[in-house]
Amino acid sequence: MWFPGRATVSDKPKKELGVRRAMALPVVPVAPGWAAGPVHRVDDPLAWASGRGEPEVLALPALWWPPAHRLPTVARAVLLYGAPPTTRTRTGLPVVAGLDADLVRERERVEVNGSKGTLTIEGVEEVRVVTAFLERPDGLILLLQRSEKVGSFRGRWAGVSGYLEDPTPLDQVYRELKEEVGLDRGRLALAAAGAPVLARDARRVFVVHPFRFRVADPEIRLDWEHVRAEWVEPAEIRRRPTVPKLDRAWEAVAPDPAPKG
């Protein structure tokens, strides 16, 4: 239940302590090595080079991997969207996978480390955040609408979220739950902690650490960061204007569907 009159108002928004500049984003290593260069987003499965005649880092769907033809001579590394059917291909180039197609832009300069499984995008900040979904016994989850007092994504719908300031994402998410909706650990049961979800917003990449908590008592208290709270079916996430990749964050922690029959 939401009590709009209980929101605590503050004129001091949180500092962006989760921001790290020029940090290496986690990706899946496919082939070892290191290389750097401008990105070319391949849009033709039969023509991978841009035609500019300069070294390039090729970005393409994992379904097109391994290549059916020799890689263009300008290729220095390969970025794959999603997971490739196989990694048993020797190209002599560093290859990483697990990317979403929206994470890199055409001609951005990147550094690819296929040995460590990292990707660095020049001029783009990494912002580490946590987000928590609260789940009632009836399966409804809590969505919060962000206020005009927050520093980003005003008016969008989100889970309980915040910048990563504490030593671990779990420590941080417990703090956010206490501050934003008035729930302490005794009223929460951790149901799932998902793998990080990467979300691009202009010159930032958010590394989102998602969690799902079960809560038997759905009574909450909002602070200044949100103006509305609603308990909704999970499918409602895709119907609303949300913070980036909120649907993906939910998928990372959602309960397995009940078997049919």
Does 149 lie in the same domain as 59? no
1 found inside a domain = no
Does 185 lie in the same domain as 116? no
259 found inside a domain = no
The Cα–Cα gap between 254 and 261 comes to 21
Does 247 lie in the same domain as 129? yes
- Whole-model pTM: value is 0.81
Does 194 lie in the same domain as 98? no
The pLDDT value given to residue 218: 86
Lowest-pLDDT range of 2-6, 31-35, 40-44, 176-180: 2-6
* Percent over 70 (pLDDT), the chain: 88
Give the pLDDT confidence of 28-86 residue by residue, as tens digits.
999 999 999 999 999 999 999 999 999 999 999 999 998 888 899 999 999 999 988 77
Q: What is the largest CA-CA distance in the chain?
A: 65
Helix (DSSP H) and strand (DSSP E) numbers for the chain: 2, 17
Structure tokens at 18: 């989760």
Signed CA dihedral, 210, 216, 217, 219: sign only: positive
Signed CA dihedral, 84, 89, 91, 94: sign only: positive
The pLDDT value given to residue 8: 32
Does 249 lie in the same domain as 136? yes
215 in Cβ contact with 229 (< 8 Å): no
How far, in whole angstroms, is CA 214 from its chain's centroid? 22
